Amino acid sequence: MEKQILRRSLLQQRQSLLWEEWQCKSEKICQRLQDWTIFQQAQTVLTYFSVKQEPDLSSLFSFKKTWGVPRCVEKSLVWHCFPSEFPLHTGTYGITEPHFDAPIVEVDCVDLILVPCVACDIRGYRLGYGGGFYDRLFSSPSWASKPTIGIVFQFGLVAELAIDPWDCTLHAICTEEQIIQLGVAA
């Protein structure tokens, strides 16, 4: 199925979830992550603030880890510590973002990246919103070896996505029903 059609269909399905169902599925994903050894061992974790009824990972923020959240700067993601003394704000794409003065998370410190996905396939390819922010990040040599786990509801896990030459694969996928380990970064 063409990426745009699949994206539209899955976003409609996700946004049609009742609040209680969305929260229940999100909590199951958070529990799976809490039980996952790689998450337990990670000291610095990059995550996201949920938009458009993406799985809500905010219950994980109580874990004693260094958390990083993205800020869109032109065509790139810059990662800032969360929480910080600086207020959050709504960014260009309507996504909650950290203040530009919030401390930066250095790439060398990152142990795990929780990646929002509209869909994933069983090979580890992801479908996002089409901006290419994560593919650009993961194609950078300094980020390529960082463990990544796609966060997606089970209905967004598909057999095969159409891929482009710039698409990067994830190392694992987490849904409310399972964690699929595809390969751990070196």
User: For 135-175, how does the pLDDT look when each residue is reduced to its tens digit (9 = 90+)?
Assistant: 899 989 999 889 999 999 999 999 999 888 888 899 999 99
Q: Which CATH number goes with the domain that contains 101? A: 3.40.50.10420
Q: Output the pLDDT for position 83.
A: 87
Q: Evaluate whether residue 140 is within a structural domain.
A: yes
Token pair in block for residue 62: 């109580």
Q: Output the pLDDT for position 132.
A: 84
- What lies within 8 Å, CB to CB, of 124 at 6+ separation is 150, 169, 170, 171, 172, 173, 182, 183
Helix (H, G, I), strand (E, B), or coil: what is residue 158? strand
Q: Output the pLDDT for position 186.
A: 38
Burial class (CB in 10 A: 0-12, 13-18, 19+), 20: exposed
Q: Evaluate whether residue 51 is within a structural domain.
A: yes
Q: List the pLDDT tens digit at each of the 186 positions of the chain.
A: 588 899 999 999 999 999 999 999 999 999 999 999 999 999 999 999 999 899 999 999 999 999 999 999 988 999 999 988 888 999 878 889 999 999 999 999 999 999 999 999 999 999 998 888 998 999 899 998 899 999 999 999 999 998 888 888 999 999 999 999 986 543
pTM: 0.93
Q: Evaluate whether residue 154 is within a structural domain.
A: yes
Q: What are the backbone dihedrals phi and psi of residue 150, each rounded to the nearest 5 degrees, phi first? A: -75, 135
Q: Evaluate whether residue 7 is within a structural domain.
A: yes
Counting the structural domains of the chain, the total is 1
Query: What are 11-16's contacts with CB under 8 Å, separation 24+?
Result: 11/52, 11/118, 13/155, 14/52, 14/53, 14/54, 14/118, 14/153, 14/155, 14/156, 15/52, 15/53
How many Cα atoms occupy the beta-carbon half-sphere of 129 within 13 Å? 10
Q: Output the pLDDT for position 6.
A: 93
What domain range is 153 assigned to?
3-56+65-181
Identity of residue 129? Y
Q: Evaluate whether residue 186 is within a structural domain.
A: no
Specify the length of the chain in residues. Answer: 186
